[in-house]
Amino acid sequence: MSIAKTYNPKEAEDKWYSYWMENGFFRSTPDEREPYTIVMPPPNVTGVLHMGHMLNNTIQDVLIRRARMQGKNACWVPGTDHASIATETKVVAMLKEQGIDKKSLSREDFLSHAWEWKEKYGGIILKQLEKLGASCDWERTKFTMDPDLSESVIDTFIKFYNEGYIYRGVRMVNWDPQGRTALSDEEVIRKEVNQKLYYIRYKVKESNDYVIIATTRPETIMADTAICINPNDERYTHLKGKTVLVPLINREIPIIEDEYVEMEFGTGCLKVTPAHDLNDYELGQKHNLEVIDILNDDGTLNEKAEILIGEDRFSARKKVAKLLEEVGQIEKIDDYKSQVGFSERTDAAIEPKLSMQWFCKMDTLAKPALEYVENGTIKLIPEKFFASYKHWMENVKDWCISRQLWWGQRIPAWYNERNEWVVAKTEAEAIRAFESQGKSISGLRQEDDVLDTWFSSGLWPMSVFDGVRNPNNPEFQYYFPTNDLVTAPEILFFWVARMIIMGHDYTQKPPFRNVYLTGIVRDKQGRKMSKSLGNSPDPIGLMEQYGTDGVRVGMLLSSPAGNDLMFDVSYCEQGRNFANKIWNAFRLVKGWETTESPATDAQKNAAKWFESRFNQAVAEIEDHFANYRLSDALMATYKLVWDDFCAWYLELVKPAYQAPIERETLETAKSFFEKILTLTHPFMPFLTEELWHDDLFGAREANDCVIVAAYPTVQPFDEKLIAEFEIVQQVISEVRSIRNSKGISPKVALPLAINASVIDFGKYQESIIKLANIAEFSLVKEKVQGAVSFLAGKNECYVALEDNLDVDAEKERISKEIAYLEGFLVSVDKKLSNERFVQNAKPEIVQNEQNKRADAQAKIDILKESLASLV
């Protein structure tokens, strides 16, 4: 069967993904094999594939495919997250387009629309991951609001409540006026913004004096309940015990004293607004100040503001500033930069707000989650993220877990007409609980709030195997704890820490062993890729243009763990070129006619070398995988295939033009090709499966696929042979370089003489003659006068160019090389003459430097002799 001239990625991708699915290669069920389990970080149902998803899921697929080929029971669980805030925002916007206001709907009607939206759009990203080649067990696909997962969430809430971790109370929270919900601290993104700093005069009552305070938020002055000074500030001694009038509304408030105020900051006077600032709230509690909340949930001013009622907070800021100027109570206005919190989901500026919410105590729960990482039970890769993880876990705050939304798991709390409440799983259980306490069940209603999405996703590694509701079920016992988690550093605390907390609380085990933290995908200018900046390519478009394997290679070539990657489409082009290189190499081998003659010694030597080099590369790649250096593992594979196999081995063994090749050599080349396909498959699944089934390898059984072929294992290799061949490669490369630099045609055969010091060049003679196009090969014991010389290792080589040699130019070249080596020798000598280095460095490092010195000196001596021989 002939093979197409060029590789057609789309045809191969559609064909083999369907084949894998139809034959159940992604399916996993418990058996006697060692399990290897990954749970996919569930993308939001609102999401579509972006470059971050591409990177994250490519890494997961490489790991899962490799484990599958290693004979492990590989299980990759996919799924999506219900994303309360993001999804509700999408549904509200959709309804608005239809002329429907959420407020006009009942909860049930709204949820009906939300589920309809989810069924229509929620699976888009998972279908896109199929295009990427993701070999997930799609039969296990989960959604965080599936009935069994939702029940697990409710059970966990009740469990934590009964254990004393969950409580209800009024506290200052981060409020998102656009989403109209509370947020946890981790859902607030701090950004530096340009603002104005307003210096406002507060009139001291029954005096002509003014107190000047500085604020970026003049719209909140109507909520002020005190002015605070430092008791040690001599500038304001005369104000102690007095009161001031709030500008514009003339409400009287006291001047209080507290060392909390920094005398050097601003004017040294602080306006205290307990309802709209966390620090002010704590100060107000300390001094028993009134709390006046002037903002509605949507960020507009309410009647307690007395003025500008109904105005948006930012509009009110401008209007209050103008009113203050009109009455002469603005001292000055400065430009000012400060950090402002924004909602991670809606990007709305956060308002600190006192609110009745549900909280989860974190101090006790967090301790085991820190210990697991400290003692190495869970490894963060790379380790640089440990410091920030430790800081967060040691300073963790209680987690606000309630959200003022309808889309999500509804909190299992029930209220009667007196606003008394109980926690219960069902209405019937709530009635029994009220009755057992002798309380009324009149006006029974369930809590309106839902739980924070991260509360449900924190159970993900357990709930996908039904380990919360049924911890003794065989699947949970087999697959949990999972192996590797691949995720982004920005959700290390949102999600990773909470999974560890919940996993330990339920099982006394960590939910995974390794956490591979990917970097952020950035453009060439270092900017994070995003739709808003217009700097992010369409992943599907990339795969259509460069082939999925090409894009996978392009992503991984530029993605060391935990470091941001500067992505450029040229990486995808490099990946596509790599796929074409393998395809063309395969076409070359497939096109060979055979003869029954025995393989030559040169072909046998080449095979021995490549087998050792292959095994050496497998050992390198294994070490890279063991240390989660996936980018390095790919690069080692790339170099093995492109350089060692294609550029060297195939060139060494291929027959002369239109001549047949020895069958033994062809079979050896085919065997090597199969090994290369298995080694490359995790990175390039489609190309490798396409070639695996070519008739060059004979007919294959239905299940004889590279996706389940045995992955290469570390085998012994001959380091001496590899080192010898590196010198042979150097000889060939140097002859080619001389021919190129002198403008001599590659077709012109040249004489080569070698003064060998260690290697038996006789067994490599045929290979050198073939690849370097040598007219006459000789081994000599003395120098060849008038020839161009070079060193390969410690072996001096001579190429006689006769009339083609420019003696002056050759003298200049050798002189430059001597000068370079002498400079190198000076640096080595300087290091070895440093007593501190010699005493403190490891013996093998010192020996290595001494070897460098000896090698450099030997090369200098040889080059000087060559220089002297030129006449």
User: Could you tell me the maximum CA-CA distance found in the chain, to the nearest angstrom?
Assistant: 116
Distances from the Cα of 702 to the Cα of 28, 445, 677, 698, angstroms: 18, 59, 18, 13
Q: Give strand ranges (E) for 780-859.
A: 788-792, 795-799
Secondary structure class of 863 (helix, strand, coil): helix
Q: Give strand ranges (E) for 438-497.
A: 445-446, 450-451, 484-487
Count of residues in the chain: 871
Residue in the block written with tokens 């197409």: 4
Nearest to 455, CA basis, from 160, 167, 177? 160
Contacts (Cβ under 8 Å, ≥6 apart) of 850 = 832
| Contact yes or no for 313/219 (Cβ under 8 A) | yes
Classify each residue of 358-382 as buried b or exposed e, where b means 16 or more C-beta atoms within 10 Å of its C-beta.
bbbbbeebbebbbebbeeeebbbbb
Residue 679 burial (C-beta neighbours within 10 Å; 0-12, 13-18, 19+): buried
Residue 858 burial (C-beta neighbours within 10 Å; 0-12, 13-18, 19+): middle
- Which residues partner with 421 through β-bridges? 415
How many Å apart are CA 744 and CA 751, to the nearest integer? 13
What count of other Cβ atoms lies within 10 Å of the Cβ of residue 792?
21
Distances from the Cα of 305 to the Cα of 197, 221, 278, 309, 707, angstroms: 21, 9, 19, 7, 67
Secondary structure class of 424 (helix, strand, coil): coil
| Contact yes or no for 404/180 (Cβ under 8 A) | yes
How many Å apart are CA 321 and CA 217, to the nearest integer? 9
| Contact yes or no for 757/695 (Cβ under 8 A) | no
Contacts (Cβ under 8 Å, ≥6 apart) of 252 = 205, 243, 244, 245, 246
User: 755: which 2 tokens?
Assistant: 């003064």
- Pairing between β-strand 330-343 and β-strand 188-204 as defined by DSSP bridges: antiparallel
Contacts (Cβ under 8 Å, ≥6 apart) of 13 = 131, 133, 547, 548, 686
How many Å apart are CA 594 and CA 404, to the nearest integer? 75
How many Å apart are CA 791 and CA 599, to the nearest integer? 31
CA dihedral (461, 466, 472, 473) in degrees, to 10, reads: -110
Contacts (Cβ under 8 Å, ≥6 apart) of 508 = none
Secondary structure class of 445 (helix, strand, coil): strand
Return the H-helix or E-strand segment holding 402: strand 402-403
| Contact yes or no for 597/524 (Cβ under 8 A) | no
How many Å apart are CA 262 and CA 233, to the nearest integer? 9
Angle between helices 569-590 and 685-692 (to 10 degrees): 10
Report the Cα 208 to chain-centroid distance in Å.
62
831 labelled binding-site residue: no
| Contact yes or no for 180/402 (Cβ under 8 A) | no
Residue 639 burial (C-beta neighbours within 10 Å; 0-12, 13-18, 19+): middle
Q: Where is the binding site for ATP, in residues?
A: 531
Residues placed in the known binding site? 531
